[in-house]
Structure 1
Amino acid sequence: MKKIVKLGMLSAVLLAGAAQAGTLAINIAFKGASQRAVWQSTLDEFKKANPDIEIKAAFIDEEAYKVQLPGWLSTAAPDIVTWHNGERMAYYASRGLFEDLSADWAKNNWNQMYASGKDASSYKGKQYALPTVYYSWGLFYRKDVFQKAGITAEPKTWAEFMEANKKLKAAGVSPFTVGGRDAWTLAGWFDYLDLRINGNAFHQQLMKGEIAYTDPRVKKVYAAWKTLIDAKYFIDSPLSYDLDAAQPFLFQGKAAMMLMGTFIAKGFPPAQAAQIGYFQFPIIDPAVPTAEEGPIESLHIPTKAKNKVDARRFLAFAGTPQISATLAEGLGSLPANSKSPAPAEPISKIGFEILSNTNGGIAQFYDRDMNKEMADEGMKGMQKFLNDPNALDDILKQLEQTRKRIYKKS
């Protein structure tokens, strides 16, 4: 008889507790029906190739998943979890909650196929993740709205960008929509302004708590952001909208652009999708090596997993070039496997080219590169800043006090 561990409301934990030899429990975070469908298809393919393994999959909405993951890892862990690379992975690896996969990297030739994602998959020289997909961040825009406003080309420089914003505003269109109630959407703006003004080396130092928030270089980032806010280039009351509520401004042509990851393109309404293009965040300082956001999604085996043998079989399967490509297409992302075929979908292809031509490094995103507590406080600060840009000095002083407390640095 299988033992069912009763842990309240979490069906995912129930499934995890049922895992034993021959049964593989997998918890998968998803956002939208298309993402769930591609994961289910992948599990079905694995089942065909491995009929001796019974799969128990729990699909959990992404936001709920973030809250529930720590509980699973520390109690009745499933055999495999989906998660993110970078600091988010390191947080659990450093606490002994993720299995060391270094031997799997060597055995499955991942060192070659996933070379670009190895650093983000590593903690203290060991690998704790299998990258699955990654995605580009950039500016989605309405081609027809640009055309009506007299914008003939995608802006490549800050000067061209500001000129385009001016034309859009004059045409009665908000240049940008943003769902500021979801604070992470604001973090994309901070990251890109910092990467373009100060570069990735500085950005990563800031993410590690090595730079003061009162540093003039940090203030310079917010000063550039403030020029956009003061000019009223964002939709009215952006903090009133989450991401889902902010997108219709783009679909309806009330806003011209949205800074977001390519993963979102799969959910665009077909009627509007043909009019939506995508371009690289403009260059601010040509002397700063161009860096991009390229967050990596990943698979992990919890240390407390019961069926690590079959979990490793699944990771070896998921780590092949074809499965990586299939996942990428279904998730609206790019395959992390360098041997996978390049994407054919137009927006993904542009994102692939942007990341392939990056010479200044690839960041994992604000709340994936940074200590979670500091990231949460930093994003709250961004919301306060968007609400009242003139309160910046007080906001940065508070963040600096928080940095000193968390990192214990002067």
Structure 2
Amino acid sequence: MRLFALCLVLSGLLGQSAWAAELTAVVLSVNPQQYLAFHNAAQQFSAAHPAIKLTLRVVENEQYKRELPAMLSSASPPDVLFMFGGVALTDAVQKGQLAMLDRPGQANDWQQHMPPALLRLVTVEGKPYGVPLSYYPWAIYYNKLALAKAGVAPPTTFAELLASCDRLRAAGVAPITIAAKDLWPLAGWFDYLDLRMNGLEFHQQLLQGKLSWLRPQLAQVFAAWQQLRDHHCYDSDSAALDWRASLPMLYNQRAGMMLMGSFWTGQLPSRKINEIGMIAFPKIAAAESTYEEAPADVLVMTAKAAHRQEAEQFLRFFATPAVQAALASATGLLPARQDAPVANAPFLRQGRTLLNHAGGFSQFFDRDSHAEFAARAMPILREFAYGQLSAMEAQRKLEAERNRDYGPLSGKP
């Protein structure tokens, strides 16, 4: 993707001499459509607040991730920043880098229109520190024709998933395309196995370095993952493909299923839409609560914001249904507000229904853990998934990386 970073200075309908206040904001954009959506929203904000000189900088995804740590730790940071929900936001709060959003919550009712599971991603010790913009589900996507060819119904339990792998392979169809070149698609499989077997709190504590990877609960997760290996569920041909290159495997009936975030559906040819179905990751434990992977995009105010009142106005504006709907539509995501209209895009409404039934959201392996740990851990998960490591070898290597990044555990591991 072409890199872009553009600074926009917007002043509503008044001249420079009439500016009574200023405001700086830096946001992330993954594509030109999202850039234009931020630009349009900024123009609308300036028209509604003509006395505020708004300087908005829109930065390409990877460049933004590189710049964010320096902006957060700056002595004079931007007033408003884009962040991901979860551990990154919590870490910034604990470092004193973000301001609590007390007045925005009192000034309007946006919190009442967002799922509790989503609000928890921006809440630290009971206080809000961010405004959720959008989020999206991970799910199992399947090719209806490929499954029908093998006489397979969409699996709702782990046992059914294993059986479907056997029947798809017998029918000459790769059971699951995995895009292992990117590493993170395989991390999504670990996330879901752990969420289904051990729950959200255990999963989050594990990825935050508070639990040992040698715990028996993790041995059970790797044992379940071993069953996917034993049933030859993963397509070896897709191991060298990145996520975009692996998509035709699914929509051209060369693979039966894929675990992926809903963002991929923007790459789906329109003529193939009706051939693809979507289901939640299968159940494993009978009495489990259902937790889902649902990464969230968030706006925050920095603790050293020079223009706090104006920043609060900006955040309130971006919490309105119309703005949230426009931003979410630009990227094929779900608006955080439940009363905001959902774009007429494939699977979005089904995704909202799936997430509305969840007991909580995780943010994904590399968002729920330190970046340094995730970068070293994901190759280990790949080695296990493709049979290069035993379960115990993988657990020991992951525990060594946990200790390296988070330090020794005190008390019961």
TM-score band by shorter chain is: 0.7 to 0.9
Q: How big is each residue's C-alpha offset from its partner over 1:291-345, in whole Å with a ceiling of 9 and x where there is no partner?
A: 2122221011233444443322221111112322333333222222233346654
**Shift, 1:81, TM fit:** 1.9
Contact kept? 2:82, 2:297, Cα under 8 Å:
yes
For 2:189 and 2:132, how far apart are their aligned partners in 1?
Answer: 25
For 1:148 and 1:11, how far apart are their aligned partners in 2?
Answer: 45
Question: What corresponds to 2:210 in structure 1?
Answer: 210
For 1:13 and 1:350, how far apart are their aligned partners in 2?
Answer: 35
Question: What corresponds to 1:35 in structure 2?
Answer: 34
Question: What corresponds to 1:176 in structure 2?
Answer: 176
Contact kept? 2:165, 2:231, Cα under 8 Å:
no
Q: How big is each residue's C-alpha offset from its partner over 1:51-78, in whole Å with a ceiling of 9 and x where there is no partner?
A: 4445444333323321221122233633
Question: What corresponds to 2:71 in structure 1?
Answer: 72
The 10-residue stretch of structure 1 (193-202 or 400-409) with the greater mean CA deviation from structure 2: 400-409
Q: Say whether residues 1:118 and 2:102 are aligned partners.
A: no
**Shift, 1:259, TM fit:** 0.8
For 1:100 and 1:192, how far apart are their aligned partners in 2?
Answer: 31
Question: Structure 1: any 5+ residue segments left out of the alignment?
Answer: 1-9
Question: What corresponds to 2:401 in structure 1?
Answer: 402
Question: What corresponds to 1:385 in structure 2?
Answer: 384
**Shift, 1:225, TM fit:** 1.7
For 1:40 and 1:147, how far apart are their aligned partners in 2?
Answer: 45
Cα distance 1:325–1:111, how it changes in 2: closer, same or farther (>3 A)? same
Question: Residue 181 of structure 2: SS of its match in structure 1?
Answer: coil
Question: What corresponds to 1:62 in structure 2?
Answer: 61
What one-letter code is carried by the residue in structure 2 that aligns with 1:268? L
Question: Residue 337 of structure 1: SS of its match in structure 2?
Answer: coil
Question: What corresponds to 2:362 in structure 1?
Answer: 363
**Shift, 1:121, TM fit:** 0.6
What one-letter code is carried by the residue in structure 2 that aligns with 1:147? A
For 2:41 and 2:7, how far apart are their aligned partners in 1?
Answer: 22
Question: What corresponds to 1:283 in structure 2?
Answer: 283
For 2:40 and 2:7, how far apart are their aligned partners in 1?
Answer: 23
Question: Residue 118 of structure 1: SS of its match in structure 2?
Answer: helix
Contact kept? 2:6, 2:58, Cα under 8 Å:
no
The 5 Å alignment of 1:6-405 reads 22-75=21-74, 77-114=77-114, 116=116, 117-151=118-152, 153-236=153-236, 238-341=238-341, 345-358=345-358, 360-405=359-404
TM-score, normalization by structure 1: 0.86
**Shift, 1:183, TM fit:** 2.5
**Shift, 1:351, TM fit:** 1.1
Question: Residue 60 of structure 1: SS of its match in structure 2?
Answer: strand
Cα distance 1:196–1:11, how it changes in 2: closer, same or farther (>3 A)? closer
Cα distance 1:329–1:239, how it changes in 2: closer, same or farther (>3 A)? same
The 10-residue stretch of structure 1 (37-46 or 252-261) with the greater mean CA deviation from structure 2: 37-46
Cα distance 1:40–1:172, how it changes in 2: closer, same or farther (>3 A)? farther
Identical amino acids, percent of aligned pairs: 34
For 2:345 and 2:39, how far apart are their aligned partners in 1?
Answer: 21
Question: Residue 65 of structure 1: SS of its match in structure 2?
Answer: helix
For 2:207 and 2:199, how far apart are their aligned partners in 1?
Answer: 12
**Shift, 1:382, TM fit:** 1.1
What one-letter code is carried by the residue in structure 2 that aligns with 1:212? S
For 2:150 and 2:366, how far apart are their aligned partners in 1?
Answer: 35
Cα distance 1:86–1:281, how it changes in 2: closer, same or farther (>3 A)? same
Cα distance 1:171–1:56, how it changes in 2: closer, same or farther (>3 A)? farther
Contact kept? 1:15, 1:25, Cα under 8 Å:
no
Q: What is the aligned residue count?
A: 396
Contact kept? 1:39, 1:327, Cα under 8 Å:
yes
Question: Residue 327 of structure 2: SS of its match in structure 1?
Answer: helix
Question: Structure 2: any 5+ residue segments left out of the alignment?
Answer: 10-18
Cα distance 1:179–1:48, how it changes in 2: closer, same or farther (>3 A)? farther
Question: Residue 374 of structure 1: SS of its match in structure 2?
Answer: helix
For 1:370 and 1:123, how far apart are their aligned partners in 2?
Answer: 16
What one-letter code is carried by the residue in structure 1 that aligns with 2:145? D
Q: How big is each residue's C-alpha offset from its partner over 1:355-406, in whole Å with a ceiling of 9 and x where there is no partner?
A: 1122x43222222223333333332321232343434322211222333341
Question: What corresponds to 1:4 in structure 2?
Answer: none
What one-letter code is carried by the residue in structure 2 that aligns with 1:299? L
For 2:302 and 2:181, how far apart are their aligned partners in 1?
Answer: 32
Question: Residue 289 of structure 1: SS of its match in structure 2?
Answer: coil
Question: Residue 181 of structure 1: SS of its match in structure 2?
Answer: helix
TM-score, normalization by structure 2: 0.85
Cα distance 1:380–1:199, how it changes in 2: closer, same or farther (>3 A)? same
Cα distance 1:134–1:159, how it changes in 2: closer, same or farther (>3 A)? same
For 2:198 and 2:388, how far apart are their aligned partners in 1?
Answer: 21
For 1:25 and 1:11, how far apart are their aligned partners in 2?
Answer: 18
For 1:171 and 1:64, how far apart are their aligned partners in 2?
Answer: 45
**Shift, 1:35, TM fit:** 3.0
For 2:306 and 2:20, how far apart are their aligned partners in 1?
Answer: 8
For 2:214 and 2:328, how far apart are their aligned partners in 1?
Answer: 40
What one-letter code is carried by the residue in structure 1 that aligns with 2:126? G
Question: Residue 220 of structure 1: SS of its match in structure 2?
Answer: helix
